[in-house]
Amino acid sequence: MQILAFDFGTKKIGVAVGQTSTFTSSPLQVISSKDNKVNWNEIIILLDEWKPELIIVGKPLNMDGTDSEIMKEVDRFFLKLKNIYDAKYEYIDERLTTFEARQILEDRNSLVDASAAKILIDNWFEQNKE
């Protein structure tokens, strides 16, 4: 099964791709938002190109498990994705994924958001092992 993961941010959205047949994932790209508006055209191009069967969106939780301030925007992003593309959708806890990605990449900022999305897929694989 083809997977796309989105690590939502108001300025940048990290995107990664994964495949359940090989249990592999890779950072794909970072989509920049202009004036805090999601670049839906670029997202639609990605969806058409990769044709994912599962879309994972990082759920930004505070360390105590409560929703973070950005959660309402993430919910709007999640619902719009569901309205424009037919697939299975899941949230996955994204606590510390950006921190982990920065450690892996030693702060090479251009790849951090896409690598955080890759970690979302890897975490999903870990939670869905049979």
State the pLDDT confidence band at 113, using cuts at 50, 70 and 90.
confident
Q: Give the structural domain span for 12.
A: 2-127
pLDDT, position 39: 94
Distance CA 57, CA 3 (A): 11
Q: What is the CATH number of the domain that holds 66?
A: 3.30.420.140
DSSP secondary structure code for residue 101 in this structure = H
Place of tokens 């055209």: 41
Is it the case that residue 100 has pLDDT exceeding 70? no
State the pLDDT confidence band at 118, using cuts at 50, 70 and 90.
confident
Provide the CA 50 distance to its chain's centre, in angstroms: 14
Distance CA 116, CA 96 (A): 9
Is it the case that residue 58 has pLDDT exceeding 80? yes
Provide the CA 22 distance to its chain's centre, in angstroms: 19
- Helix, strand, or coil here: 83? helix
pLDDT, position 51: 97
User: What is the pTM (predicted TM-score) of this model?
Assistant: 0.77
Total domain count for the chain?
Answer: 1
